[in-house]
Chains A and B, each alone.
Chain A
Amino acid sequence: MATSLLLPTAYLGGCIAAMSAFSFVYRRATAVSEIEPWFGPNVEKEQYIALLNSSTPVPEHHLRAALLRRAMADVKRLVHIQQEKPPLNALLRAGTVGDDLWKEFTVAEQETMAELQEVVAEANTYKEGWGQNIFTTAAQMVEHEKQKVVLEEMKTRKEEEERLAKLQEEREQREIKDKSKTDAEKREREAKKAAEELLKQEEVEKVKTKK
């Protein structure tokens, strides 16, 4: 009787122990893989919150400006997410990127959406209805900044090209100089050699005449 009960209990206990051990190890292993944030820290948001909470009173137009900055940052993120989504989707389907990246991306997407809503709500506290068009304004500002950057880039590129051309010229001149220098040396050496030979010949002739 005793053995007939002992055996199934042991079997059941063993099974449960093995399974729980596996689940423990597995959970610990999967918990380690944290989701890496897609975007860096949202500086504009932090700045705005810091301004809101500052102990010294901040004039409202500063707060509004800070909120607009925050909206601009969000617009950039939103544009980025909208642009990246289709290619990422295609890559995921093709098996070229891993699931982790997709997970990261969806988390970032949700965060951005929440952030957008937050900004809208925040804007409405200043003036009813501002929330509806704050992002249009922000988008226009972003566009303007982009154009500025392009202009700047063109300028620097021109400078860089000029610099490279100059460098090339210098190098060529240097090489020509080096060459002329080596040529001059060569000629000098040859001249010396010729002179020596002449001297030798003369000596030989002298000896001959003496004889």
Chain B
Amino acid sequence: MAQYTYDEQGVTFNYFVLSVLALFLVPLTLQWIYQTFKDAKAKAGKTYCNCEPCKSKSARLAAARKRSAVRHVANARILFIVLGWILFSFLAYKISMTEVHKVVWDPYDILQIPEGTELSDIKKTYRKLSLVYHPDKAPKDQAEEYEAKFVEITKAYKVLTDEDTRKNYEEYGHPDGKQSYTMGIALPKWLVEGSNSYFTLAFYGLLFGILLPTHIARWWYRSRRLTKDRILNGSMALFFKELKENSTHRDLIDILSTSVEFKEKLTIRPSDEASLVPIVTIIKEEMENRYGQKFEKSKRQFSAPYCYKVKVLIYAHLLRVEVTDAGLIKDQQFIVETSVHLLNGLLQIALVKLWLQSSSRIMDLSQSLVQAIFPGESALLQLPYVNNALLRQYYRSKKRTFPSVQKFLDAPEDQRKALLKPLSNDQYLDCMEVAKAIPQLHTLKAEFRVAGDSILTVGAIVTFILKLQNGVVVGVESAKTNGKGVEQSEINEKEDEDDEALDAVDAIIEGKKEIKESDERISPAHAPYFPGEKKPYWWVYLGDPKVNRIIVPPQKITDIVTKKTIKIQFPGPPKAGTYTFSYFVRSDSFVGTDLRQDIKLVIQEPSDLPPEDDIDDTISEPDEDSIAGQMKLMREQGISGAISGPPKPQTNQKPKADDNDSDTDSDSDDD
């Protein structure tokens, strides 16, 4: 007969709880340790420059980190970890203290002899033990124990010697024959007792009936309001309607200021209007003086108080007008950080519409917001201690300007010192350090290629290969090896060749990315006026400025540390001819580091392809050069793949597009 027994002692239940706890606790603890370790490392490795804004920023960030860590996530997690481990150790202690019933009945164990002992030895041991544990010999207080032990010993002895009992034991695991069949449920009894059943039921109801659904519903509704890029749908709708092909920087700021994010999260205090007035007067003055532009409230729906506030604070940020009100400072930080994020949404829209001009303006604005430099102002303002007055003074007296930080670094030292005359020596060194840390990209190679073919043909999938180098590292190297400049360049050339070979292989065997170049991690950008930390990244894209169109939408490149090869694939033009594009490499966080260069794309008819035999001829040639020979082999192997490979994505894409079209058509019909 089946009989349920609840876990009276709670041993099994405790085991269960213990293992579940361990399942959560161990990874959490490990993660926490790793996090703190990483934080400590990051803190140690961080070098802020010593200018005033940088110092205040690092102090603010540290404070913010501390505050948020103490108050929010980390705190709850640490609490959970600590409480969890306390509970864990308590349970473990409890389990170790409770005696576990021997489930397996083992006659050898009872007689305390090893398995497979001789019969005579068993008899001997039994006799000895039965003498010791004989009930008659037991001390008064232990009589019962002795008796039980004696019975056990006798049983065990019988099992090992008597035929019948041995059979019983072998069949049912017990000498007495079949035992009553019991089932255990690993729940403590108090959980299922009648008097507690309501509480248990209520707890379950609360957990699964109310808490879980509400939690999911809240998450669902919140995420439904956001797009994939975590921007509110309302904001994106506004952006879509307002962004025009020729939106200027001012228009973009206006559009940003209407974002629903600001409407919802920005509190409008009654004191704001008064505290904004002095800022507005400074902005008006600056705008008038510098650009001859008027700063005024925007028209139409941009005129809501929150829009105006956002606009004023963004301008104040870009013009580096100091904001003194503590509340406004916080608002400004929020606005600037959110704006940079929102710009990504705007960019998406501009890209889908293939507008080159507005896309590049959006990228401009991203750089400007991160560095707090008004669009069009000198890139040297990124450096610490440099301000407009300093620059203007220099430009006026020397009649010379530095369009980028790179040009500034290239200039002789006395010129640099002349510009930064008012700075102390330490400050000058700081400044130069920051200038050197700003990435200076150079193009090593830029070309179009079709996998497996030597020329570009109509309808092929063209791969744009762009090899970039961060100029800073080169500068350091050449300074080190001044005498061995020639050797260095030779080595570089060799590396280039190797890289080229690699490129060819990569172009053929798609999907295999080079990892070796991106081993190093990029450090946050020097952006003292930006509230948070900013990991710089780059957009690489092809466009045609003549018709203001983007040809190939940007790829985001996050890890240009020293060298980086970027490959962008796109379907080639449908007609043969020469196309002149420009390729753009634009940073999201640094001003004046962008690359833009014209490049020619020559597309030929497929009939211009060299016949297949030609390739065979070239294979036999470089036999003596083993690497080249291998390369050719690879190429040949790749051709078979390339012939069947490239057309595939095209055929895949087409039905997909058709599907979607028909979907949307039917949608609109339904409506």
Interfacial residues, chain A to chain B (CB-CB below 8 A): 38, 84, 87-91, 93-101, 103-104, 106-107, 109-110, 163-164, 167, 171-172, 175, 179
Contact residue among B236, B392, B660 (Cβ-Cβ distance under 8 Å from A96): B236
What is the CB-to-nearest-CB distance from B156 to chain A, in angstroms, rounded to a whole number? Answer: 56
**How many residues from B make CB contacts under 8 Å with A?**
25
Chain A neighbourhood of B234, CB < 8 A: 98, 100
Known A-B contacts A96-B348, A109-B668, A164-B292; the reply to A101 vs B228 at CB < 8 A is no
Contact residue among A100, A104, A106 (Cβ-Cβ distance under 8 Å from B668): A106
Contact residue among A94, A98, A167, A175 (Cβ-Cβ distance under 8 Å from B233): A98
B227 contacts A93, C-beta separation under 8 Å? no
Confirm or deny: B60 has a beta carbon within 8 angstroms of a beta carbon on chain A: no
B352 contacts A87, C-beta separation under 8 Å? yes
Known A-B contacts A87-B349, A95-B227, A96-B227; the reply to A101 vs B668 at CB < 8 A is no
A91 contacts B233, C-beta separation under 8 Å? no
18 more A-B contacts (CB under 8 A) besides A84-B240, A96-B348?
A89-B664, A91-B348, A91-B349, A94-B228, A95-B227, A95-B228, A97-B227, A97-B237, A98-B234, A99-B233, A100-B234, A100-B237, A101-B240, A110-B671, A167-B292, A172-B396, A175-B392, A175-B396
User: In the complex, A107 Cα to B234 Cα: how many Å?
Assistant: 17
Known A-B contacts A89-B660, A91-B349; the reply to A97 vs B668 at CB < 8 A is no
Chain A neighbourhood of B392, CB < 8 A: 175
Confirm or deny: B229 has a beta carbon within 8 angstroms of a beta carbon on chain A: yes
User: In the complex, A103 Cα to B240 Cα: how many Å?
Assistant: 14
Chain B neighbourhood of A163, CB < 8 A: 292
Which of A91, A100, A103 has most chain B Cβ within 10 Å? A91
What is the CB-to-nearest-CB distance from B358 to chain A, in angstroms, rounded to a whole number? Answer: 13
What is the CB-to-nearest-CB distance from A107 to chain B, in angstroms, rounded to a whole number? Answer: 8
CB proximity to A under 8 Å, residues B349-376: 349, 352-353
User: In the complex, A172 Cα to B668 Cα: how many Å?
Assistant: 61
User: In the complex, A96 Cα to B350 Cα: how many Å?
Assistant: 12
CB proximity to A under 8 Å, residues B626-671: 660, 664, 667-668, 671
Chain A neighbourhood of B228, CB < 8 A: 94-96
Chain B neighbourhood of A103, CB < 8 A: 671
A-B contact pairs, 13 of them (CB 8 A): A87-B353, A96-B227, A96-B236, A96-B345, A97-B227, A98-B227, A98-B236, A99-B233, A101-B233, A101-B240, A104-B237, A106-B667, A172-B396
Which of A93, A98, A103 has most chain B Cβ within 10 Å? A98
Confirm or deny: B289 has a beta carbon within 8 angstroms of a beta carbon on chain A: yes
Per-residue CB contact flags for chain B residues 156-185 toward chain A (1 = under 8 Å, else 0) read: 000000000000000000000000000000
What is the CB-to-nearest-CB distance from B218 to chain A, in angstroms, rounded to a whole number? Answer: 13
User: In the complex, A171 Cα to B289 Cα: how many Å?
Assistant: 8
Per-residue CB contact flags for chain B residues 215-249 toward chain A (1 = under 8 Å, else 0) read: 00000000001011100011011001100000000
Interface of A is mostly: helix
User: In the complex, A79 Cα to B271 Cα: how many Å?
Assistant: 46
Q: Which residue of A is nearest B671, CB measured? A: A106
What is the CB-to-nearest-CB distance from A94 to chain B, in angstroms, rounded to a whole number? Answer: 7
A101 contacts B660, C-beta separation under 8 Å? no
What is the CB-to-nearest-CB distance from A171 to chain B, in angstroms, rounded to a whole number? Answer: 7
Contact residue among A93, A98, A171 (Cβ-Cβ distance under 8 Å from B237): A98
Q: Which residue of B is nearest A109, CB measured? A: B668
Known A-B contacts A96-B228, A100-B233, A110-B671; the reply to A91 vs B240 at CB < 8 A is yes
User: In the complex, A57 Cα to B345 Cα: how many Å?
Assistant: 53
User: In the complex, A172 Cα to B236 Cα: how many Å?
Assistant: 43
Per-residue CB contact flags for chain B residues 319-353 toward chain A (1 = under 8 Å, else 0) read: 00000000000000000000000000100110011
User: In the complex, A15 Cα to B30 Cα: how many Å?
Assistant: 46
B352 contacts A90, C-beta separation under 8 Å? yes
User: In the complex, A109 Cα to B227 Cα: how many Å?
Assistant: 23
User: In the complex, A104 Cα to B233 Cα: how many Å?
Assistant: 13
User: In the complex, A88 Cα to B348 Cα: how many Å?
Assistant: 11
Contact residue among A93, A95, A97, A164 (Cβ-Cβ distance under 8 Å from B240): A97
Chain A neighbourhood of B225, CB < 8 A: 98
B240 contacts A88, C-beta separation under 8 Å? yes
User: In the complex, A101 Cα to B231 Cα: how many Å?
Assistant: 14
B353 contacts A97, C-beta separation under 8 Å? no
| Nearest 5 pairs of A and B residues by beta carbon | A98-B233, A95-B228, A101-B237, A87-B352, A167-B292
Known A-B contacts A87-B352, A91-B240, A106-B668; the reply to A96 vs B292 at CB < 8 A is no
User: In the complex, A179 Cα to B392 Cα: how many Å?
Assistant: 13
Q: Which residue of A is nearest B225, CB measured? A: A98
Per-residue CB contact flags for chain B residues 184-207 toward chain A (1 = under 8 Å, else 0) read: 000000000000000000000000
Chain A neighbourhood of B227, CB < 8 A: 95-98
Known A-B contacts A90-B352, A91-B352; the reply to A97 vs B664 at CB < 8 A is no
Q: Which residue of B is nearest A94, CB measured? A: B228
User: In the complex, A31 Cα to B488 Cα: how many Å?
Assistant: 72
Q: Which residue of A is nearest B396, CB measured? A: A175
B236 contacts A97, C-beta separation under 8 Å? yes
B236 contacts A101, C-beta separation under 8 Å? yes
What is the CB-to-nearest-CB distance from A135 to chain B, in angstroms, rounded to a whole number? Answer: 22
Chain A neighbourhood of B668, CB < 8 A: 106, 109-110
Chain A neighbourhood of B292, CB < 8 A: 163-164, 167
Chain A neighbourhood of B348, CB < 8 A: 91, 94, 96
Chain B neighbourhood of A107, CB < 8 A: 671
Chain B neighbourhood of A164, CB < 8 A: 291-292
Chain A neighbourhood of B352, CB < 8 A: 87, 90-91, 94, 96
Chain B neighbourhood of A93, CB < 8 A: 660
User: In the complex, A184 Cα to B255 Cα: how many Å?
Assistant: 49
Chain A neighbourhood of B353, CB < 8 A: 87
What is the CB-to-nearest-CB distance from B554 to chain A, in angstroms, rounded to a whole number? Answer: 14
User: In the complex, A99 Cα to B224 Cα: how many Å?
Assistant: 10
User: In the complex, A138 Cα to B667 Cα: how many Å?
Assistant: 31
Q: Which residue of B is nearest A167, CB measured? A: B292
Q: Which residue of B is nearest A84, CB measured? A: B240
Q: Which residue of A is nearest B209, CB measured? A: A18
User: In the complex, A91 Cα to B292 Cα: how many Å?
Assistant: 38
Chain A neighbourhood of B667, CB < 8 A: 106
What is the CB-to-nearest-CB distance from A150 to chain B, in angstroms, rounded to a whole number? Answer: 12
User: In the complex, A97 Cα to B227 Cα: how many Å?
Assistant: 6
Chain A neighbourhood of B671, CB < 8 A: 103, 106-107, 110
CB proximity to A under 8 Å, residues B285-316: 289, 291-292
User: In the complex, A171 Cα to B392 Cα: how many Å?
Assistant: 12
Q: Which residue of A is nearest B354, CB measured? A: A87
Q: Which residue of A is nearest B668, CB measured? A: A106
Chain B neighbourhood of A100, CB < 8 A: 233-234, 237
Which of B345, B664, B667 has most chain A Cβ within 10 Å? B664
What is the CB-to-nearest-CB distance from B494 to chain A, in angstroms, rounded to a whole number? Answer: 43
Q: Which residue of A is nearest B229, CB measured? A: A96
User: In the complex, A93 Cα to B653 Cα: how many Å?
Assistant: 14
